[in-house]
Chains A and B, each alone.
Chain A
Amino acid sequence: MQDTWTLGGRTFTSRFILGSGKYSLKLIEAAVRDAGAEMITLAVRRTNTKESENILDYIPQNVTLLPNTSGARTAEEAVRIARLARELGCGDFVKVEIMRDSKYLLPDNAETVRATSMLADEGFVVLPYMYPDLYAARDLVKAGAAAVMPLASPIGSNRGLAAKDFLQILLDEIELPIIVDAGIGRPSQACEAMEMGASAVMVNTALATAGDLPLMANAFRQAVEAGRNAYRSGLGRVLTRGASASDPLTGFLRD
């Protein structure tokens, strides 16, 4: 049986999603053709009003657009940007990004929960980008999120799964799809996130800054598939402390 996953009524086979930070035609080509991306993030604030160089024109028809609300500093601003995206013909998917810090670009969880609730009420398929906090994740579920997108490490940092332990808690406790977003710097880290049980990963900088885009895109496809298969097969026993006793400690018990 094919391994698929569903979001907002759409079924995806690829678990590699292209993020938005650094864009070019070549990057989008590599992501779709070589990494197999079926979903691509689009920064609404970057879309051009003019005919030339419109990012929308770069993206193949069969790819799901995921407009994001980057530039929003409050829930209200995020809602306004999401509505604009809908008017631009980007569909009902929206990635909520709310930042009130221009230095680290960390998401504001409280505002994100508010925006998620407002947008879900308006019928959007809401994918909130968040700091991996269990309470906030539960609030996002209650607010009507379609998936939860915790960061792995600061955006653009290529520092990998710095928040690994907290991601694992979310993976263990949250029943919505979890898309690990931000900070994945190399295919091995994408692989690890998938092994842990993530539904998908979002990558941009790591691919955009690679020397050979198609080759790196292919590497990400393989890494994501490898991690996913490992997760599905059930990871083998990993012994963390000493060996297990060949004679069970409880072997003396009679009944």
Chain B
Amino acid sequence: MEENRFFVDADTLSPEALARKHKLENDPSCRTDPTQYLPGMEVLESDVRERVLSQVASYDPARYTATDVRAALERRTCTVEDLKALLSPAAEPFLEKLACRAKAETEKHFGNTVYLFTPLYLSNYCENYCVYCGFNCYNRIRRGKLTAEQTEHEMQVIASSGMEEILLLTGESRSQSDLTYIGDACRLARKYFRTVGLEVYPVNTDEYRYLHECGADFVTVFQETYDLCAYEKLHLLGHKRVFPYRFDAQERALRGGMRGVAFSALHAYYLQRKYPQAEISLSCPRLRPILNNQTIRPMDVGEKQLCQILCAYRLFLPFAGITVSSRESARFRDGIVRIAATKVSAGVSTGIGDHESKYAGESAENRTGDEQFEIDDARSLNRMYRDLSDGGLQPVLNDSLYV
């Protein structure tokens, strides 16, 4: 498959900024050490990272055979070794069988329910240079953040569509969207929604506790990759570059009192063993085109592989929620909710302050800030609700109480 061409130069950058950008991109020696914490970052005493990374380091997908895959499919409890076999190329010919097993596990734990939520982007200011992301600090986009009044208005528009669960997002900029700003948004969200989740820059335990007290119960943090070498090449600048701080975010969130956290499978497995009360959910977001770079595509993960991964996750963690966002197509999402996924978004905008125009079907040119990436499945809540119901599934708008 064609390599992604990540690097795009905005014509508005000063010669100095451009020189710095090129140096970051081309000269690894000028980048900071991704394992070093920055000032103010809490260091967690935890063995979870060690456990996950040693499994990742020792994983050799080519080692697994059809026999391993068959054994994994037969076993009642899927072990870490089974997960490795199910994720390996040897499992590709077993995709249909894998899907059947995944479907059975999903139905056992979730029946025919599918949960619905929508994201609300509060701000797209970002101090990171993550090469695949539309919000990256070098990308020339319209930046903006919602005022409290605008936030409340967006929430009213979303709530009037019938949505009961919201995921609040920001770019990663503490100076533009500080903790109080996010906390205030959580408080507002509690007025309009039953469940509030956060997908913001990782913070310390006491800060997660503060956000929990403001009304948030769930925290999503994406790592993109557990391979430090790959991570270092994709996250060239900013807080996200600090790999261990990123990794420990979910654990800090749980210690801060959050009910649930979202991430990838093996990480979730070890953390759930350590915090058995934690509600965990998984997702596997693939790359999408961004403003100023239409060439960005999912690199090495096609739809079949994505399906294989999600099915393997289902067998490994039968009780975990699996979320598939609107970055995937309607066709894929309609199929995967019958097999492994338990939660989908609807009525999605990844821009800042454009729900009203989008929901009314108007041009969203008056939005406050540009989008993070192009979504694929643009169905509204009503449409998604109907499509799921017509497909024999039961849409659920809420299954959580803030206590």
Interfacial residues, chain A to chain B (CB-CB below 8 A): 21-24, 43-46, 48-50, 52-53, 71-73, 77, 80-81, 84, 99-105, 156-158, 205, 208-209
- The reply on B113 being an interface residue by CB < 8 A is yes
In the bound complex, CA of A158 to CA of B403 (Å): 30
Residue of B whose beta carbon sits closest to that of A103: B319
Pair B277/A101 contact, Cβ less than 8 Å? yes
Of B111, B277, B396, which is within 8 A of A73 by CB? B277
Please determine whether A100 and B277 come into contact, CB atoms closer than 8 angstroms: yes
Query: What's the nearest-Cβ distance from chain B to residue A18, in Å?
Result: 14
- Which of A53, A102, A103, A105 has a CB less than 8 Å from the CB of B397? A53
A45 touches B394 (CB 8 A): no
B interface list, Cβ under 8 A from A? 107-113, 162, 164, 194, 272, 276-280, 319, 394, 396-401, 403
Q: How far is the CB of B4 from chain A (nearest CB, A)?
A: 36
CA distance A47 to B86 in the complex (A): 37
**Residues of A with C-beta under 8 A to B280:** 102
In the complex, residue of chain A having the shortest beta-carbon distance to the beta carbon of B403: A77
Residue of chain B at shortest CB distance from A106:
B276
**Residue A205 contacts which of B111, B162, B279, B396 (CB distance < 8 angstroms)?**
B111
Contact check: which of A23, A72, A102 meets B403 at CB < 8 Å?
A: A72
Contact of B399 among A45, A52, A104 (CB under 8 A): A45
Q: Are A48 and B164 in contact (CB under 8 A)?
A: yes
Residues from chain A with Cβ under 8 Å of B164 in the complex: 48-50
Chain A residues, CB < 8 A from B401: 44-45, 71, 81, 84
6 extra interface residue pairs, beta carbon distance < 8 Å, beyond A52-B162, A84-B401, A205-B108: A22-B110, A23-B394, A46-B398, A71-B403, A100-B276, A102-B277
List of 4 A-B pairs having minimum Cβ-Cβ separation, nearest first = A22-B111, A45-B401, A77-B403, A101-B276
Partner of A46, one of B108, B109, B112, B396: B396
Measured between C-beta atoms, what is the minimum distance from A147 to chain B in Å?
24
Pair count A-B, CB < 8 A: 65
**Residues of chain B with a CB closer than 8 A to A73's CB:** 277
- For B272, the chain A residues whose CB sits under 8 A away are 102-103
Per the bound structure, the CA–CA distance linking A205 and B399 in Å amounts to: 17
CA distance A105 to B272 in the complex (A): 13
A103 to B396, CA, bound (A): 21
Q: How far is the CB of B6 from chain A (nearest CB, A)?
A: 37
Q: Which residues of A contact B394 (CB under 8 A)?
A: 22-24
When distances are taken between beta carbons in the complex, the residues of chain A under 8 Å from B276 are 100-103
CB of A209 within 8 A of CB of B107, answer: yes
Report yes or no: A156 in contact with B278, Cβ–Cβ below 8 A.
no
Hey, which chain A residues are within 8 Å of B400, CB to CB?
Answer: 45, 71
Chain A residue with Cβ nearest B109: A156
**Measured CA separation A43–B399 after assembly (Å):** 8
B327: min CB distance to chain A, Å: 26
Inter-chain contacts of A208 with B (CB < 8 A): 111
Contact A102 B319 (CB under 8 A): yes
- Chain B residue nearest to A80 (CB atoms) is B403
Contacts of A50 in B (CB 8 A): 162, 164, 397
A22 touches B277 (CB 8 A): no
Instruction: Write out the residue numbers on chain B whose beta carbons fall within 8 Å of the beta carbon of A44.
Output: 401
Q: With A102-B272, A103-B319 as given contacts, are A46 and B399 in contact (CB-CB < 8 Å)?
A: yes
- Chain A residue with Cβ nearest B159: A50
| Residues A81 and B111 in contact, CB atoms below 8 Å apart | no
How far is the CB of A208 from the nearest CB of chain B, in Å? Answer: 6
17 contacts between A and B (CB under 8 A): A22-B113, A22-B394, A45-B401, A48-B397, A48-B398, A50-B162, A50-B397, A52-B162, A53-B397, A71-B403, A80-B403, A81-B401, A102-B277, A102-B278, A156-B108, A205-B108, A208-B111
Task: Give the most central of A23, A53, A77: most B CB within 10 Å.
Answer: A53
Evaluate contact between A49 and B107: CB separation under 8 angstroms: no
Residue ID in chain B nearest A101 by CB atoms: B276
B257 to chain A, nearest CB (A): 11
Residues of A within 8 A of B112 (CB): 22, 24
Is A102 within 8 A of B398, CB to CB?
no
Most A C-beta atoms less than 10 A away, residue of B107, B279, B394, B401: B401
Q: Which listed residue, B277, B278, B397, B403, touches A81 by the CB 8 Å rule?
A: B403
Return chain A residues, CB-CB under 8 Å to B107: 209
Q: How far is the CA of A43 from the CA of B111 in the complex (A)?
A: 15
B400's nearest neighbour on chain A, judged by CB, is A45
**What's the Cα separation between A209 and B397 when bound, in Å?**
21
Nearest opposing residue in chain A for B194, CB measure: A49
A251 to B107, CA, bound (A): 61
The residues of B that contact A52 with a CB separation of less than 8 Å are 162
Bound Cα distance from A49 to B112, whole angstroms: 22
> Smallest distance from the beta carbon of A79 to chain B beta carbons, Å?
9
* Assembled-state Cα–Cα distance A202/B403 (Å): 26
CB distance from B172 to the nearest CB of A (A): 28
Q: How far is the CA of A158 from the CA of B107 in the complex (A)?
A: 12
Contacts of B403 in A (CB 8 A): 71-72, 77, 80-81
**Contact partners of A72 in chain B: CB under 8 A:** 403
The residue in A23, A52, A80, A103 that gathers the most chain B C-beta atoms within 10 A of its C-beta is A103
